[in-house]
Amino acid sequence: MKKDLGLVQAVYPMPVLMVAAYDENEKVNVMNVAWGQICDEDKIILFIGAGKRTWLNIQASKAFTVALADEAHVDVADFFGIASGNRMADKFERTGYHAVKSDKVHAPIIEEFPVVMECELLEFLHTDHVDGIVGKIVNVKAEEAVLDEKGKVDVSKLHALMFDQFRNGYYATGAKVAQAWNAGAGLMKE
């Protein structure tokens, strides 16, 4: 029997995304975003509140990067979620992490995170019910250490973080349990 839990953001897993953009002075800012998703073959949507430092930076620079946080960097990924760029001027510098300028868009790439999407701003969504940023993914870069023999990202090597909104925990991706578009194929037969 199911028990009523009340209002809970009951979607699991949520990605742990590191969104980075330059401000008007080319200063790096990074934000931890769990509410984000691929929304088309070459588009990503990030649900970031208007007025956040990252929102303002993307508005100014018209570009951003989105990195997948991994288990090896969970402490800094969490810090990027609890520290506000609006209140902490040296947020990025405190981590000791390194940023390089993307060669595809006007945005920083945080070198420590193994997979990054380079994105151009497409539009801001600002309604009574949602604030969001839609970006066009123009390129993806990945460290060779997380690639398989065919050059594709191997999530068993990546150890990407997932956010658990039920108990506010981070978990790392684990073992593959089935092949997509195959596991249910037997049910297609009449």
- Contact of 66 with 36, CB cutoff 8 Å: yes
State pTM to two decimals. 0.94
Model confidence at 23, in pLDDT bands (50, 70, 90)?
A: very high
Q: What is the pLDDT of residue 138?
A: 98
pLDDT > 90? residue 176: no
pLDDT > 90? residue 26: yes
pLDDT > 80? residue 171: yes
Instruction: Classify the C-alpha dihedral 150-155-160-163 as positive or negative.
Output: positive
Strands 14-15 and 161-164: antiparallel
CATH number of 14-188: 2.30.110.10
Of all residues in the chain, the percent with pLDDT exceeding 70 is 100
Burial 144-154 (b: 16+ CB within 10 A, else e): eebbeeeeebe
pLDDT tens digits, one per residue of 80-91? 999 988 899 899
Model confidence at 51, in pLDDT bands (50, 70, 90)?
A: confident
Average pLDDT for the chain: 94
Q: What is the pLDDT of residue 10?
A: 86
Find the length of the chain: 190
Instruction: Give the mean model confidence (pLDDT) for residues 15-39.
Output: 95
pLDDT > 80? residue 190: no
Instruction: Give the mean model confidence (pLDDT) for residues 111-130.
Output: 96
Instruction: Find, among 16, 30, 51, the residue nearest to 93 by Cα.
Output: 30
pLDDT > 90? residue 99: yes
pLDDT > 90? residue 49: no
Q: What is the pLDDT of residue 186?
A: 87
Strands 43-46 and 36-40: antiparallel
Q: What is the pLDDT of residue 174?
A: 80
Instruction: Give the mean model confidence (pLDDT) for residues 69-95.
Output: 94
